[in-house]
């Protein structure tokens, strides 16, 4: 996800989680305000790291527990960059003393940074994405989310769990993740299976995000990831019947097992061009289909015609009936056209398949592909025919003298029925 043109304020970003967050935002194109409570050297060091890879950042020293300093920080950010789109409320304060020895003044200081800070920054108008890492901010996050939803402002609360981060100068870390922390759900090294999810087009719009991480059981499959996504974002469910899923850039079946840090892409139905992808009960017109892909820039047009023959395995065929699983069949044909575009750079692709009863000699399939040169057009045509047989849920039933039988997706002997018409080429 690119953040070009966006401006982010990350509080407490001189070290640890805040520093890593600021650097990642900058790598994605955002201009970043690096905030530290008092250590300017740390903040300037992060700015230097951002600038080393061509990013933009400024350092601002401010105590987020003091409203006037937060207001000034936001004003400085607006002066420097002209806008603020993202706020990461990361700054946190942990008292050195145990709770039994903690003074009221120490407690107030912790609350000021961990809870007042997110409130002050959000109120200052720098609200875009609120990522508070303190459980005390959960109620505030929920209230802000409800109040600001009508303005299309996304408010999140992230609890990263226990991290053995480097302490401020002069302090030592008295806290470490307890043994068996995983049992109580703290995601410290090696918790549940985590996969990275990518969403596109309508799915991205319905979820309000393009990237997220979801946790699953260790034996999770693609189907489990789909169920979890739909639980988190039920608005996607209207398209779930046509859900296509790729794992690490390869399409996979729903029973495919997932591994830690897999990238799982949920791909909406691919758009078919007008009259370019057709499944119909009507008679196919190869001339019209071929004409639909002709362009002045193309020097070759290859048209494949799949027809109903009069015999199979020495049996006399009387007629055929085709049945499809719609709309998945439409989606898979569009997917094949997209694969051809990506593999050969060919955009002029037309595929038409007929359903219902077909008599002997009737056309069941027309594939028309046009390209500047004949080699790519022939290769893409053969590829399309093979892929139709492999992935498109269309079945035929053969009626022959003495019986009938269902045959798989596309005709097994399809290549024997073809008539290839090549026009031009170089």
Identify the domain boundary among 234, 249, 268.
Answer: 268
Same structural domain for residues 95 and 157? yes
Q: What's residue 313's pLDDT?
A: 77
pLDDT 10s digits, 257-299? 999 889 998 876 544 444 478 899 988 889 989 988 998 999 9
Confirm whether 171 is domain-assigned: no
Q: What's residue 366's pLDDT?
A: 96
User: What is d(CA 307, CA 365) in angstroms, rounded to the nearest whole number?
Assistant: 7
The answer on pLDDT for 242 being more than 60 is no
pTM score, whole prediction:
0.38
Half-sphere CA count of 154, side-chain side, radius 13 A: 11
The answer on pLDDT for 126 being more than 80 is no
User: φ, ψ for residue 251 (rounded to 5)?
Assistant: -60, 140
| CA-wise closest residue to 340 among 395, 296, 382 | 382
The answer on pLDDT for 34 being more than 60 is yes
Confirm whether 57 is domain-assigned: yes
Same structural domain for residues 333 and 238? no
Same structural domain for residues 224 and 289? no
Q: What's residue 109's pLDDT?
A: 84
Torsion of CA 380, 382, 384, 390, to 10 degrees: -140
Confidence band of 76 (pLDDT split at 50, 70, 90): very high
Same structural domain for residues 208 and 310? no
Same structural domain for residues 12 and 150? yes
CATH number at residue 233: 3.10.20.30
Confidence band of 95 (pLDDT split at 50, 70, 90): low
Q: What's residue 410's pLDDT?
A: 40
Same structural domain for residues 199 and 149? no
Range scoring the smallest mean pLDDT among 63-72, 316-325, 408-417: 408-417
Confidence band of 85 (pLDDT split at 50, 70, 90): confident
Same structural domain for residues 9 and 156? yes
Percentage of the chain exceeding pLDDT 70:
77
Q: How many domains does one find in the chain? A: 3
Percentage of the chain exceeding pLDDT 90:
35
Q: What's residue 232's pLDDT?
A: 81
The answer on pLDDT for 195 being more than 60 is yes
Q: What's residue 270's pLDDT?
A: 47
Same structural domain for residues 14 and 158? yes
Most confident of 34-43, 201-210, 309-318: 34-43
DSSP state of 257: B
Sign of CA dihedral 44, 50, 56, 57: negative
Same structural domain for residues 305 and 282? yes
pLDDT top residue among 353 and 15 = 353
Q: What's residue 169's pLDDT?
A: 59
Confidence band of 314 (pLDDT split at 50, 70, 90): confident
User: What is d(CA 267, CA 335) in angstroms, rounded to the nearest whole number?
Assistant: 10
Q: Do the Cβ atoms of 271 and 201 come closer than 8 Å? A: no
- At 336, which helix (H) or strand (E)? helix 328-344
When pLDDT is averaged across residues 400-418 and rounded to a whole number, the result is 58
| CA-wise closest residue to 423 among 361, 393, 378 | 378
The answer on pLDDT for 364 being more than 90 is yes
Identify the domain boundary among 222, 244, 268.
Answer: 268
Same structural domain for residues 152 and 281? no
pLDDT top residue among 252 and 43 = 43
Q: How far is CA 278 from the centre of its chain?
A: 28
Identify the domain boundary among 216, 251, 268.
Answer: 268
Q: Do the Cβ atoms of 214 and 198 come closer than 8 Å? A: no
Confirm whether 176 is domain-assigned: no
Q: Which domain holds residue 47?
A: 1-165
**Rg of the chain over all Cα atoms, to the nearest angstrom:** 30
pLDDT top residue among 325 and 264 = 264
Range scoring the smallest mean pLDDT among 166-180, 215-229, 313-327, 379-393: 166-180
pLDDT 10s digits, 329-347? 888 998 999 899 889 999 8
The answer on pLDDT for 140 being more than 50 is yes
Indicate the average pLDDT of the chain.
79
Same structural domain for residues 95 and 196? no
The answer on pLDDT for 212 being more than 80 is yes
Confidence band of 170 (pLDDT split at 50, 70, 90): low
- At 370, which helix (H) or strand (E)? strand 363-371
User: What is d(CA 243, CA 317) in angstroms, rounded to the nearest whole number?
Assistant: 37
When pLDDT is averaged across residues 357-376 and rounded to a whole number, the result is 95
CATH number at residue 102: 3.40.50.720
Cis peptide before 273 (omega within 30 of 0): no
Most confident of 11-15, 135-139, 174-178, 363-367: 363-367
When pLDDT is averaged across residues 121-130 and rounded to a whole number, the result is 59
The answer on pLDDT for 422 being more than 80 is no
| CA-wise closest residue to 283 among 347, 220, 365 | 365
Q: Do the Cβ atoms of 374 and 302 come closer than 8 Å? A: yes
Furthest C-alpha separation in the chain:
94
DSSP state of 52: H
| CA-wise closest residue to 422 among 365, 370, 382 | 370
């Amino acid at each position: 996800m690119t953040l070009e043109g966006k401006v982010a304020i990350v509080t407490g970003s001189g070290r640890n989680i805040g520093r890593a967050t600021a650097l990642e935002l900058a790598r994605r194109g955002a201009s970043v305000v690096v905030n530290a409570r008092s250590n300017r050297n740390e903040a300037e060091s992060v700015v230097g790291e951002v600038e080393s890879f061509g990013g933009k950042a400024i350092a601002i020293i401010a105590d987020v527990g003091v409203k006037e300093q937060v207001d000034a920080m936001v004003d400085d950010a607006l002066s420097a960059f002209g806008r603020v789109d993202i706020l990461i409320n990361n700054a946190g304060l942990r008292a050195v003393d145990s709770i039994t020895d903690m003074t009221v003044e120490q407690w107030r200081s912790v609350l000021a940074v961990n809870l007042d800070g997110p409130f002050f920054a959000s109120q200052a108008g720098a609200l875009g994405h609120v990522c508070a890492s303190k459980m005390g901010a959960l109620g505030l996050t929920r209230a802000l989310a409800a109040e600001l939803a009508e303005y299309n402002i996304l408010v999140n609360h992230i609890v990263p769990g226990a991290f053995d981060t480097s302490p401020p100068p002069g302090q030592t870390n008295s806290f470490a993740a307890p043994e068996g922390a995983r049992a109580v759900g703290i995601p410290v090294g090696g918790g549940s299976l985590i996969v990275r999810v990518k969403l596109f087009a309508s799915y991205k719009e319905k979820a309000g995000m393009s990237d997220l991480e979801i946790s699953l059981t260790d034996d999770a499959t693609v189907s489990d990831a789909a169920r979890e996504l739909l639980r988190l974002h039920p608005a996607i469910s209207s398209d779930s019947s046509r859900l296509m899923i790729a794992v690490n850039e390869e399409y996979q079946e729903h029973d495919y097992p997932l591994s830690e840090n897999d990238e799982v892409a949920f791909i909406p139905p691919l758009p078919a061009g007008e009259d370019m992808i057709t499944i119909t009960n009507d008679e196919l017109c190869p001339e019209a289909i071929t004409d639909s892909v002709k362009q002045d820039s193309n020097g070759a047009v290859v048209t494949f015609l799949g027809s109903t023959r009069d015999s199979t395995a020495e049996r006399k065929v009387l007629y055929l009936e085709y049945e499809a699983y719609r709309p998945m069949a439409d989606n898979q044909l569009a997917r094949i056209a997209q694969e051809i575009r990506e593999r050969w750079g060919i955009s002029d692709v037309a595929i038409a398949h007929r359903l219902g009863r077909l008599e002997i000699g009737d056309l069941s399939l027309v594939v028309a592909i046009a390209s500047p040169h004949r080699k790519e057009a022939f290769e893409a045509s053969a590829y399309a025919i093979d892929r139709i047989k492999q992935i498109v849920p269309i079945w035929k039933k053969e009626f022959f003298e003495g019986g009938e039988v269902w045959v798989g997706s596309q005709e097994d002997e399809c290549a024997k029925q073809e008539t290839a018409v090549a026009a031009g080429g170089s």
